[in-house]
Structure 1
């Protein structure tokens, strides 16, 4: 038994080391790798950059750090994007992080939330103005990166605005039916997926449908994962029609007792909706261009969470559903090799 435990601990450390190596390889790949012109044993001398280029480099690094801190799973999947899309994708994800953080806080006054969202909403128009116009955009690294992105890519301003307006929904307002939950996921996560698709320049109806389905799956899962951290003054993400059908109160969802079968049925119904959208997106995989498949790598984390939730019998507070997926870096790298999600 002692030998078995020792082997298990060594295996766990080895797996952790492998994941760390994979993450470092992804980050090195994102930074451009090693310069082939540098001779072994010689250190590459940094090129002289103008102040503007230094500012852009800072903004790029700032966006990456922001996504890594607050949206780690999508940070990993973005590292695997083609180099020509990666910087712009981090700008979009960083903007989404900043907008979502504007409404975070159990004791945040509604008026303060509205003011924060109004700032980001107005900033979208500022980013579409010529870069020569003096404004506060140049003082905010995320907006500076977003302005650079919209200056070289044809992005739909409507999707950016939906990222902001969707967050105007009060945190204590419950979803009445499943359609309301799907609409919210569509306005937030699906809008971001559509923007990522636009970065690639792909115009394909199958890719657009997949972006919608993946976004809805991600949005529903995001709301499910937030339930264990939801305060009593906030509404849970389970629609009222589902709660009424199973005779469950929001308080019982928050308690998450492991032997409450009715709560399990409620969570199962919502998770099934997310899984349905994910499977519909995967069915469109054969009709997608290869570049588009890289964009949808973020769905790997969504599918992984749904599988862990199923094994935990749809108990949201189970340890496997709360902690970070240690195998995600390896899963993403493997799926990326075979252009799947």
Structure 2
């Protein structure tokens, strides 16, 4: 976890100590499922791997499930915290989309994907922290949307290289941007306009989350801290020199500093 998702790992360290291991178990599971395409490379092995995880959740893999450190920790957490299985099942189902090169049909579809991936992890995290999921559903969904929409933009070079596209088809159609240009990594005026629309939507999710944060309990903040990296990433994409298909990343120390600053001043999380 500390290496695979350094920022989420560091953010979780701001949670109460008695909850950290449970949060790490849930987030590590999310990472395992999200990387299935990268590991499997082909749909069928990926489907088999996802099915393996479904069977693990239902106790159908016995010693195999216990031998895997991620699944063993997750099963212990589910039992100890009395967590429902449905969010984990929905997360697995949602990531089935990753195995294929089908289009993301609409903004609504991407929001659903966000709800069932990042949103499911955040909602489960809230439950672990002893918070009522329903009370925080709106801010968690806005945060999940912002994280996923920003991730879609950040991962565009990698997705395009493997002929995969998460930019919603209705956004592309609105600006007459062609899927073929994106897959060919051709940053046309129309493609850039569609990407600008995605950034605008991500900022609106951040603004919504910030409004909700003003009345939220401090207990929810460790789950929100990774969102402190979103607006700076969007701002870098607004630079004139921005190349959508060039792989860029902010220095690790600066990302860690942003997390630290947001933990000290929650107003910086979505700002």
Mapping for residues 137-152 of structure 1, pairs under 5 Å: 137-152=65-80
Residues 160 and 285 of structure 1: CA distance in aligned 2, closer, same or farther (over 3 Å): same
Q: Which runs of 5 or more residues in structure 2 are unaligned?
A: none
Ranges of 4+ aligned residues in structure 1 off by more than 6 Å: none
**TM value normalised by structure 1:** 0.72
2:89 to 142, 157, 161: 161
Number of the residue aligned with 1:270? 198
- What is the match of residue 212 of structure 2? 284
**Quick check: 1:110 aligned with 2:43?**
yes
- Following superposition of structure 1 onto structure 2, how do residues 1-341 of structure 1 map, counting pairs within 5 Å? 67-104=1-38, 108-126=41-59, 135-169=63-97, 170-203=99-132, 205-231=134-160, 234-256=163-185, 260-311=188-239, 315-318=243-246, 321-324=248-251, 326-340=253-267, 341=269
Partners of 2:86 and 2:190 in 1: CA distance:
40
Which one is further off, 115-124 or 146-155? 146-155
SS of 2:83 mapped into structure 1: coil
Take 1:283 and 1:333, find their aligned partners in 2: how far apart are those partners? 21
Computed over aligned residues only, the root mean square deviation of the Cα atoms, in angstroms, reads 2.4
TM-score, normalised on structure 2? Answer: 0.89
Q: In structure 1, how many angstroms separate the alpha carbons of the residues matched to 2:13 and 2:239?
A: 29
**Aligned-residue offset at 1:298:** 1.5
The 1:204–1:248 alpha-carbon spacing in structure 2 relative to 1, beyond 3 Å, is closer
The CA distance in 2 between the partners of 1:93 and 1:204, in whole Å, is 17
Does the Cα contact within 8 Å between 1:312 and 1:318 map onto a contact in 2? no
Alignment: residue pair count: 267
Shift of 1:142: 0.9
Which structure would you say has the larger RCO, counting Cα contacts within 8 Å and 6 or more residues apart?
Answer: 2
The structural deviation recorded for 1:313 is 6.8
Closer, same or farther: CA 154–280 of 1 in aligned 2, 3 Å: farther
For the Cα contact (< 8 Å) 1:316–1:322, is it kept in 2?
Answer: no
CA 323–294 in structure 1, closer or farther in 2 if over 3 Å, else same: closer
1:323 Cα deviation from its structure 2 partner: 4.5
What is the aligned partner in structure 2 of residue 62 from structure 1?
none
Residue 116 of structure 1, CA deviation: 0.3
* 1:40-92 superposed Cα distances (whole Å, 9 cap, x missing partner): xxxxxxxxxxxxxxxxxxxxxxxxxxx22322221222222221221111111
Could you give the per-residue CA deviations for residues 105-155 of structure 1, whole angstroms, max 9, x where no partner exists?
A: 5x823211110000011111229xxxxx95323211111111221122132
Q: Distance in 2 between matches of 1:88 and 1:275?
A: 30
| CA distance in 2 between partners of 1:305 and 1:138 (Å) | 38
- Shift in Å at residue 314 of structure 1? 5.9
Gaps of 5+ in 1: 1-66, 128-132
The structure having more radius of gyration, on CA atoms, is 1
